[in-house]
Amino acid sequence: TTHQLNVAQEIADRVAIIQQGQIIALEPTRQIIQRFSGSTYAIAIEGCLDQVRLSKLEALGGVVQKGEILYPGTPEGLYQVLQILNPLPLVQVKKDEADLTKVFLKLVG
């Protein structure tokens, strides 16, 4: 057992989350993290978005926040977003992923 969730995430194949002596979650580590991960993509680009691209992104549900484009959609829709951004250089595309700490807080929080 551990309270160091980052350590458990790195070394455990399976985790149990206990609240007040009761097991409230018991499953493979990767599976529980995937279950609580979001479906938002964060896209960082070089340069600035023009109004035309910004309008197209907003029509797909995208928003610009803290210098990143956030797209809360499907992997298929992500390809549409990337087409809109073409030929702007991409710096990073990442999917929102939970960790055991976030999972724990969602379950017991």
So what's the pLDDT on residue 14?
Answer: 97
Q: What mean pLDDT is predicted for residues 8-19? A: 95
Look up the pTM and report it: 0.68
So what's the pLDDT on residue 38?
Answer: 85
Mean pLDDT of the chain: 93
Q: What mean pLDDT is predicted for residues 80-94? A: 96
Say whether pLDDT at 101 is over 90.
yes
Strands 22-28 and 40-45, bridge-based pairing: unpaired
How far apart CA 98 and CA 37 sit, in angstroms, is 5
Q: What mean pLDDT is predicted for residues 46-59? A: 95
When pLDDT is cut at 50, 70 and 90, the band that residue 93 belongs to is very high
Say whether pLDDT at 47 is over 90.
no
Domain 39-95 has CATH 3.90.1200: no
Which residue ranges does the chain devote to CATH 3.30.70?
39-95
Handedness of CA 59, 61, 62, 63 (dihedral sign): positive
Contact yes or no for 43/101 (Cβ under 8 A): no
